[in-house]
């Protein structure tokens, strides 16, 4: 019997995170996922267990912008799995504004959420990858990781930093045969775009990103997609 593989996904109850968890479940993986809302986490775990009763799903309530929650989540991961095959650092937050106009503390909040969460969760998961000389880490960057936008402020700063972390980590992990992929999606229809007045057809679907993540994961051990840039066919929106 083929050994079931294990995945960890942060920010998992909405948008791209939810689409990825559903895709991984469809492909037979056991998944530990987290989000901040207890009701949403419980509901998603129940849905997954009902749809895939032969697999294991662990819904964890955690706010990864908080160091204490990151520590708890890392310990939970290490106590749950002996091996991790896939990690998606998806949790993130966008607050519009400029460097000279945004509220004091915005950079700190976005850095904790968009960068530190990925850094610390990766450090927690690597001991479950390195001994096996296998694993794939996906970091949800953005087109804002390679292009500055007006009103992007601290969001753009942290997404540039996350891409930088991905590049550094990729070099470090070559010696352990662990892959690192930076996902750079443009405008994707999630809850953050609801009420924008734009038609849903103007955006990529969250399932598009999930499908491409899985395609990257399916490559042979000799190949890695280092950076995957995706945009709506008509171009990004602002």
The closest of 39, 238, 8 to 125, measured between CA atoms, is: 8
Collapsing DSSP to helix, strand or coil, 14 comes out as coil
**Is 155 known to be catalytic?**
yes
**Helices assigned H by DSSP within 57-205:** 67-80, 106-111, 117-125, 153-173
| Annotated catalytic residue within 155, 176, 189, 217 | 155
Residue holding tokens 């904790």? 112
The closest of 143, 153, 148, 141 to 232, measured between CA atoms, is: 143
Distance CA 93, CA 14 (A): 12
* Contact between residue 237 and residue 198 where contact means Cβ atoms under 8 Å apart: yes
Residues annotated as catalytic (active site), given as ranges: 155
């Amino acid at each position: 019997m083929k050994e079931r593989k294990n995945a960890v996904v942060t920010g998992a109850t909405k948008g791209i995170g939810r689409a990825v968890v559903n895709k991984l479940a469809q492909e037979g993986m056991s998944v530990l996922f987290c989000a901040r809302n207890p009701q949403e986490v419980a509901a998603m775990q129940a849905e997954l267990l009902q749809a895939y009763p032969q697999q294991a799903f662990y819904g964890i309530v955690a706010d990864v912008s908080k160091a204490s929650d990151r520590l708890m989540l890392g310990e939970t991961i290490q106590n749950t799995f002996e091996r991790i095959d896939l990690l998606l650092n998806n949790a993130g937050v966008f607050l519009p504004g400029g460097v000279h106009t945004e509220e004091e503390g915005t950079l700190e909040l976005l850095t904790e959420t968009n960068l530190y969460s990925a850094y610390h969760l990766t450090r927690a998961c690597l001991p479950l990858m390195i001994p096996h000389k296998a694993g794939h880490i996906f970091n949800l960057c953005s087109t804002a990781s390679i292009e500055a936008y007006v009103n992007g402020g601290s969001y753009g700063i942290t997404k540039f930093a996350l891409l930088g972390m991905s590049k550094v980590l990729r070099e470090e992990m070559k010696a352990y045969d662990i892959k690192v992929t930076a996902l750079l999606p443009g405008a994707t229809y999630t809850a953050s775009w609801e009420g924008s007045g734009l038609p849903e057809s103007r955006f990529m679907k969250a399932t598009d990103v999930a499908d491409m993540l899985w395609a990257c994961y399916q490559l042979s051990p000799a190949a890695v997609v280092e950076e995957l840039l995706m945009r709506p066919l008509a171009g990004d929106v602002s």
